[in-house]
Protein backbone atom coordinates (compact mmCIF):
# COMPACT_ATOMS: atom_id res chain seq x y z
CA UNK A 1 0.00 0.00 0.00
CA UNK A 2 1.40 3.42 -0.88
CA UNK A 3 2.11 6.05 1.73
CA UNK A 4 -0.80 8.12 0.38
CA UNK A 5 -3.18 5.48 1.76
CA UNK A 6 -2.20 6.13 5.38
CA UNK A 7 -4.22 8.71 7.21
CA UNK A 8 -3.38 10.71 10.30
CA UNK A 9 -6.16 11.20 12.79
CA UNK A 10 -6.30 13.48 15.84
CA UNK A 11 -8.90 13.49 18.61
CA UNK A 12 -9.37 16.90 20.28
CA UNK A 13 -11.56 17.02 23.36
CA UNK A 14 -12.57 18.81 26.53
CA UNK A 15 -13.84 16.89 29.55
CA UNK A 16 -14.89 18.22 32.94
CA UNK A 17 -15.96 15.01 34.67
CA UNK A 18 -14.07 12.34 32.70
CA UNK A 19 -16.98 10.95 30.69
CA UNK A 20 -16.05 12.76 27.49
CA UNK A 21 -12.42 11.75 28.11
CA UNK A 22 -13.53 8.10 28.10
CA UNK A 23 -15.25 8.62 24.75
CA UNK A 24 -12.16 10.36 23.33
CA UNK A 25 -9.84 7.63 24.61
CA UNK A 26 -12.03 5.02 22.92
CA UNK A 27 -11.78 6.97 19.64
CA UNK A 28 -8.01 7.10 20.13
CA UNK A 29 -7.82 3.32 20.60
CA UNK A 30 -10.14 2.39 17.74
CA UNK A 31 -8.53 4.80 15.25
CA UNK A 32 -4.99 4.29 16.62
CA UNK A 33 -4.51 8.03 16.70
CA UNK A 34 -3.19 10.84 18.83
CA UNK A 35 -5.37 12.72 21.30
CA UNK A 36 -5.13 16.27 22.60
CA UNK A 37 -7.11 17.32 25.64
CA UNK A 38 -8.08 20.97 25.90
CA UNK A 39 -7.71 22.30 29.42
CA UNK A 40 -9.82 25.25 30.59
CA UNK A 41 -7.50 27.40 32.70
CA UNK A 42 -10.49 28.75 34.62
CA UNK A 43 -11.53 26.47 37.48
CA UNK A 44 -14.72 24.71 36.33
CA UNK A 45 -14.83 22.15 39.12
CA UNK A 46 -17.88 21.64 41.29
CA UNK A 47 -21.26 23.26 41.10
CA UNK A 48 -20.02 26.88 40.89
CA UNK A 49 -17.48 25.96 38.23
CA UNK A 50 -20.27 24.57 36.09
CA UNK A 51 -22.45 27.64 36.76
CA UNK A 52 -19.62 30.01 35.77
CA UNK A 53 -19.25 28.01 32.56
CA UNK A 54 -22.95 28.30 31.76
CA UNK A 55 -22.80 32.06 32.39
CA UNK A 56 -19.81 32.31 30.03
CA UNK A 57 -21.76 30.36 27.40
CA UNK A 58 -24.80 32.64 27.71
CA UNK A 59 -22.60 35.75 27.46
CA UNK A 60 -20.54 34.25 24.59
CA UNK A 61 -17.31 34.64 26.56
CA UNK A 62 -14.09 32.92 25.59
CA UNK A 63 -11.77 31.41 28.17
CA UNK A 64 -8.05 30.77 28.36
CA UNK A 65 -7.16 27.25 27.26
CA UNK A 66 -4.11 25.07 27.15
CA UNK A 67 -2.74 24.42 24.67
CA UNK A 68 -3.71 27.77 23.21
CA UNK A 69 -3.06 26.56 19.65
CA UNK A 70 -3.45 23.07 18.24
CA UNK A 71 -1.89 22.56 14.84
CA UNK A 72 -4.34 20.59 12.76
CA UNK A 73 -2.77 20.90 9.32
CA UNK A 74 -0.82 17.63 9.61
CA UNK A 75 -4.00 15.60 10.08
CA UNK A 76 -6.49 14.25 7.58
CA UNK A 77 -9.28 13.59 10.06
CA UNK A 78 -10.15 15.36 13.30
CA UNK A 79 -12.54 14.12 15.96
CA UNK A 80 -13.61 17.10 18.08
CA UNK A 81 -15.81 16.70 21.13
CA UNK A 82 -16.94 17.87 24.53
CA UNK A 83 -19.86 17.64 26.93
CA UNK A 84 -22.87 19.85 26.41
CA UNK A 85 -23.72 22.48 28.98
CA UNK A 86 -27.22 23.87 28.59
CA UNK A 87 -27.28 22.55 25.03
CA UNK A 88 -24.01 24.19 23.94
CA UNK A 89 -20.36 23.24 23.88
CA UNK A 90 -18.47 24.61 26.91
CA UNK A 91 -16.32 27.76 26.74
CA UNK A 92 -13.06 25.82 26.36
CA UNK A 93 -14.21 24.12 23.16
CA UNK A 94 -15.84 27.29 21.84
CA UNK A 95 -12.51 29.09 22.36
CA UNK A 96 -10.75 26.32 20.42
CA UNK A 97 -13.33 26.53 17.59
CA UNK A 98 -12.77 30.28 17.30
CA UNK A 99 -8.99 29.95 17.02
CA UNK A 100 -8.62 26.85 14.85
CA UNK A 101 -8.17 26.60 11.10
CA UNK A 102 -9.40 23.47 9.37
CA UNK A 103 -8.02 23.85 5.86
CA UNK A 104 -7.95 20.39 4.32
CA UNK A 105 -9.35 18.68 7.43
CA UNK A 106 -12.28 16.34 7.51
CA UNK A 107 -14.02 16.62 10.89
CA UNK A 108 -16.25 14.40 12.99
CA UNK A 109 -17.94 16.14 15.91
CA UNK A 110 -19.02 14.33 19.05
CA UNK A 111 -20.80 15.36 22.21
CA UNK A 112 -21.73 13.87 25.53
CA UNK A 113 -24.89 15.01 27.24
CA UNK A 114 -26.88 14.18 30.31
CA UNK A 115 -30.29 14.19 28.70
CA UNK A 116 -30.96 15.20 25.12
CA UNK A 117 -29.46 17.49 22.56
CA UNK A 118 -30.55 19.41 19.50
CA UNK A 119 -29.03 18.30 16.19
CA UNK A 120 -28.88 22.01 15.28
CA UNK A 121 -25.85 22.30 17.59
CA UNK A 122 -23.83 20.17 15.18
CA UNK A 123 -25.05 22.26 12.23
CA UNK A 124 -24.01 25.47 13.98
CA UNK A 125 -20.44 24.24 14.53
CA UNK A 126 -20.33 22.55 11.11
CA UNK A 127 -20.99 25.92 9.47
CA UNK A 128 -18.13 27.47 11.43
CA UNK A 129 -15.75 24.66 10.47
CA UNK A 130 -16.76 24.90 6.80
CA UNK A 131 -16.19 28.68 6.79
CA UNK A 132 -12.68 27.99 8.13
CA UNK A 133 -11.72 25.51 5.42
CA UNK A 134 -12.83 22.16 6.86
CA UNK A 135 -15.54 19.69 6.05
CA UNK A 136 -17.69 17.96 8.65
CA UNK A 137 -18.27 14.39 7.49
CA UNK A 138 -20.02 13.03 10.56
CA UNK A 139 -21.12 13.46 14.12
CA UNK A 140 -22.41 11.47 17.04
CA UNK A 141 -23.53 12.00 20.61
CA UNK A 142 -23.91 9.84 23.66
CA UNK A 143 -26.21 10.27 26.62
CA UNK A 144 -24.06 9.87 29.69
CA UNK A 145 -26.49 10.23 32.59
CA UNK A 146 -26.36 7.23 34.93
CA UNK A 147 -23.89 5.39 32.67
CA UNK A 148 -20.59 3.97 33.81
CA UNK A 149 -17.33 4.68 32.00
CA UNK A 150 -17.31 1.05 30.87
CA UNK A 151 -20.80 1.39 29.35
CA UNK A 152 -19.83 4.64 27.59
CA UNK A 153 -16.71 3.02 26.13
CA UNK A 154 -18.77 0.09 24.81
CA UNK A 155 -21.40 2.38 23.30
CA UNK A 156 -18.64 4.46 21.66
CA UNK A 157 -17.01 1.32 20.26
CA UNK A 158 -20.36 0.32 18.72
CA UNK A 159 -20.86 3.74 17.11
CA UNK A 160 -17.32 3.74 15.73
CA UNK A 161 -17.58 0.18 14.40
CA UNK A 162 -20.80 1.08 12.60
CA UNK A 163 -19.32 4.23 10.96
CA UNK A 164 -15.54 3.74 10.66
CA UNK A 165 -15.34 2.39 7.11
CA UNK A 166 -17.79 5.00 5.78
CA UNK A 167 -15.84 7.83 7.42
CA UNK A 168 -12.53 6.52 6.10
CA UNK A 169 -13.95 6.33 2.59
CA UNK A 170 -14.97 9.98 2.89
CA UNK A 171 -11.33 10.97 3.47
CA UNK A 172 -10.14 9.22 0.36
CA UNK A 173 -11.10 5.62 -0.15
CA UNK A 174 -10.17 2.54 1.81
CA UNK A 175 -7.43 3.39 4.23
CA UNK A 176 -5.02 2.30 6.86
CA UNK A 177 -4.64 4.36 9.99
CA UNK A 178 -1.42 5.62 11.38
CA UNK A 179 1.55 7.67 10.36
CA UNK A 180 2.05 8.48 6.70
CA UNK A 181 5.74 7.74 7.18
CA UNK A 182 5.47 4.35 8.87
CA UNK A 183 2.83 1.72 8.17
CA UNK A 184 0.99 0.30 11.17
Q: List pLDDT tens digits, range 63-83.
A: 999 999 899 999 999 999 999
> Given pLDDT bands bounded at 50, 70 and 90, which one contains residue 173?
low
CA quadruple 45, 83, 177, 10: dihedral sign: negative
Task: Report whether 109 contacts 80 (CB < 8 A).
Answer: yes
> Given pLDDT bands bounded at 50, 70 and 90, which one contains residue 42?
very high
| Closest C-alpha to 72, from 32, 35, 101 | 101
User: Looking at the predicted structure, is the pLDDT value of residue 184 above 70?
Assistant: no
CA quadruple 133, 139, 144, 147: dihedral sign: negative
The answer, yes or no, to whether the previous bond of 155 is cis (omega within 30 of 0) is no
Q: Mean pLDDT score of the chain, rounded to an integer?
A: 87
| 3-state SS class at 64 | coil
Query: Which residues on neighbouring strands pair with residue 143, listed in sequence order?
Result: 113
Q: What is the pTM of this model?
A: 0.88
Could you give the strand order of the β-sheet that contains 106-113, starting from the edge strand earlier in sequence? 34-37, 9-13, 77-83, 106-113, 135-143
> Given pLDDT bands bounded at 50, 70 and 90, which one contains residue 127?
confident
Amino acid sequence: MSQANYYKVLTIFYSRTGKTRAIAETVKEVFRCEAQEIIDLKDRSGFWGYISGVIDILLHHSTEISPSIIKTEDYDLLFIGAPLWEGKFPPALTTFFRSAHYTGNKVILFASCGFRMKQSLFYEYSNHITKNGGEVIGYFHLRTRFKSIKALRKETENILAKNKERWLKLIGGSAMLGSREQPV
